[in-house]
Amino acid sequence: MKTAFIVDSDLAFGFWLARGLDHAGYQAYPSKSVADAIALRAELHTEIDLLILNAGLADSAEWIETLRQAHSQMRVVALIGDQSRLPGIAARVDLCCRKPDRHDDGKLREWIEHVEELLPASLFGAAFENSILLRKCAGALVWRAGRTEAPAWKEWEGRTIDGRFQLERCLGGSEQSAVFLTRRGYDGEDAAAIRVVLNEVVDREVLLPRWERAARLSHPGLIRVFDIGSAECGGAAVSYLVMEYAEENLADVLRQRPLTASETRELLEPVLDALSYLHRHGLVHGHVKPSNILAVADQLKISSDGLRPAGEQPAALEHAGAYAAPESTAGFLSPAADVWSLGITLVEALTQRPLVPKRPQHKTPAIPVTLPPLFLDIARQCLQPDPERRETVEHLADRLRRAPAAESAPAPAAPRSLLRFWPYAVPAMALGLAFSGVLMRPHQTVKAVAPPAAPAVAPVPALAPPHALPPPPLTRSVAAQVLPDVSQDSRATIRGTLQVRIQVRVDASGSVVDAKLDEPGPSRYFANRALDAARRWKFDALAPGRPPDPENWILRFDYTRSGTQASAEHVAP
C-alpha cells in the first residue's frame, strides 16, 4: 500500500481527504503544518509516495526538496487558491490543484481521480492515452507543473551575460541555476565563476539581498563576490552573481578518499575562522557541507552566496539535507546550526561517509569511536541535539589551537612511515553550491635503498661438501616496470606526493606470484591502482644455483600531479 501525507492548516479537511484516499488504496496521514508532518514521518519511519499540501504553508518548498533527495519517485500535489502560480514552489511540485470543497463528498472521488490521471504514470502504473478525465477535468485543475527538466545549460556556452561575461564552460547545473567559467578584469584574463539563476523559479526579493550581503563582507576565508546583476539571455530573464573561481572541492575529494588527520586539522582552522567572522557579524552560513568548502589557489574558503541573518525564517528555507541541525526543521537557523553541520562534515571528511543517523532528534548520533581523539571530542561537542549545549566556533577553534599534534593522530594498528602525507584537494563550484578543498604538506621523499652487498666468502677447503657452499650473490633486477593507470581527474586531487608500498613475492622465472599492500596510504583508489600494476611487474630470471623459493620485494609508487615514479627494493624473507 502506498503512503500519502496531507498537509493543510484545516485539519478537518485533511481527515476528509484522507478518508477518500484510504478508499482509493492509500494509507493517508493528515497534518496541519509542515513541522507536524516532519515529526509524524520521523515517528512512522516511512517514505512518502504522494504528498498533498497547501502551497501557502511556511517551509513547504524546502521540505519538498528534502523529501525528494530521499525518495526521488515521490509525487507532490500543491493545493492552491485563486492564484495561478506560486513562484516559490512552482518548480518543486508535479501538479497544482484548487482545493476541493470538503462539504461535497460526491466530488471527492472525482477529485482524487483527476489527480491520479494527471500525475506521472510512474506512480500509479496507469495508461492514460484514452483517458476521458484527461480530456474532461471538470475545472478542478489549474495547471500542471510537472518537475521541469534542467535546462540544456551546455547550450548556453558561448553566450554573453549583460554584455560583459561570456559563459565559457558549464561547471554544473540544476533546474534553477548553473555555474559557468567566465572572465573578468580590465583585460578579461582573470578567471571567475558566474552563477546564472532563472528568475521565474526563484524569489529575487530573497536572493538578491543575500548576494548583496555577501558582496559587502571581507574575509580571507570567504569566496569573494565581484558583481551582481540581472539580464536577459537567450530569451530568459536571469539574475547572476560573479565570484571567485575555485578549482577544487572537498566533496569531490571525499568520493576518492578520506582526509588524513593532518589534512583535517588544516581544514578546520580556516573554516572555523570564517564561521567565527560570520557569527560575530550576526550572520549564519546555513549550509556548511563538503561541496561548499572551496580551494582558491592554495587558500581554503567557504561559499558566501547563501548567507542570512541569524534567526531569519524565510518562507522557503534552504536546507542542508543530511547536514541540517535538528532544530532547523522548525525554520530557524542560528550559529549553533552551523556548528552541527560542521560536525557532520568533520565525520564525513575522516570516514568518507556522512553521518545520517536514523534516530530521535533528542538523542546524540552515533559517532565512530575510531576517529582520532581530538576530532572525536570536537565532533561530540558539535553534535549535541540541544543547540544550547553545543560549543561555539570560537571555543572549537581554541580547542584546536591548544591540542598537541599527537592528539589528532589515530593510534596506528601497525607501524607506518610518518613521512607520508597526502594533499588535500577541494574544488570548485557547481551551482548553488560552492566548493571545497584540503591543503597539503609536501611529501618528504625517501630514496630507494639499494640491495645490500653480499658478504665476502672465505675460500672453501677442497674437502668441503658441495651443499656447504653459500648461494651466489643476488644479481637480478627489474626487467619490466608497470606504472599504475590513474585518471587525470584523480591525479588532480594530489598536492605534494602520495606514497603507496606494495610487497610482492617473485618466483625464479621473475614473475610476481603474490602481491599485497604494505603501506596503502590514505587513498584506497591509488592503493588499488598500485596493487594492480605491481602484479604485472617482471624481474630477471634467477641465475642457476639460486634457491627456487620466491623472493620478497617492496615496490614503492610515488604519485604526484605530474606523474608516477616507482622503485623496487629487495628485502629479507
pLDDT in tens, 312-331: 764 444 544 678 888 876 66
- pLDDT at residue 395, as a whole number: 96
pLDDT of residue 376: 94
Q: Please report the pLDDT score of residue 118 as a whole number.
A: 53
Is the per-residue pLDDT at 411 higher than 70?
A: no
- pLDDT greater than 80 at residue 456: no
CA distance 480 to 226: 54
> Could you tell me which residue, 495 or 507, shows the higher pLDDT?
507
Distance CA 381, CA 387 (A): 10
Q: What pLDDT, on a 0 to 100 scale, did the predictor assign at position 515?
A: 92
Q: What is the DSSP string of 87-147?
A: TTTGGG-SEEEEPP-TT-HHHHHHHHHHHHHHS-HHHH----TT-HHHH--TT-EEE---P
pLDDT over 90 percentage in the chain: 30
Q: So what's the pLDDT on residue 240? A: 95
Contact partners, residue 193, CB within 8 Å, separation at least 6: 171, 179, 180, 181, 182, 242, 243, 244, 245, 246, 428, 429
Q: 82 or 252, which is more confident? A: 252
Question: Which residue in 39, 35, 44, 47 sits closest to 1, CA to CA?
Answer: 47
What is the pLDDT at residue 3? 86
SS3 350: helix
Angle between helices 393-402 and 261-280 (to 10 degrees): 140
Q: Determine the longest span between alpha carbons in the chain, in angstroms.
A: 118
Residue 107 binned pLDDT confidence (cut-offs 50, 70, 90): low
Q: What is the pLDDT of residue 59?
A: 77
pTM of the model: 0.50
Q: Is 373 exposed, middle or buried (0-12, 13-18, 19+ CB in 10 A)?
A: middle
Which of 45-54, 233-242, 338-347, 454-463 bottoms out in mean pLDDT, i.e. has the lowest?
Answer: 454-463
Confidence of residue 76 (pLDDT cuts 50, 70, 90): confident
- What are the φ/ψ torsions at residue 516 (nearest 5 degrees)? -150, 160
- pLDDT tens per residue across span 176-201: 889 999 999 777 778 999 999 998 87
Confidence of residue 545 (pLDDT cuts 50, 70, 90): low
Dist CA 559 CA 455 (whole Å): 35
Say what the pLDDT of residue 192 is. Answer: 94
Does pLDDT of 273 surpass 70?
Answer: yes
Of the two residues 493 and 173, the one the predictor is more confident about is: 173
How far is CA 569 from each of CA 82, 502, 513, 539, 552, rounded to the nearest angstrom? 79, 11, 17, 12, 9
Domains of the chain and CATH, by start: 2-143 (3.40.50.2300), 153-244 (3.30.200.20), 254-408 (1.10.510.10), 473-571 (3.30.2420.10)
Question: Quick one: average pLDDT of 479-499?
Answer: 82
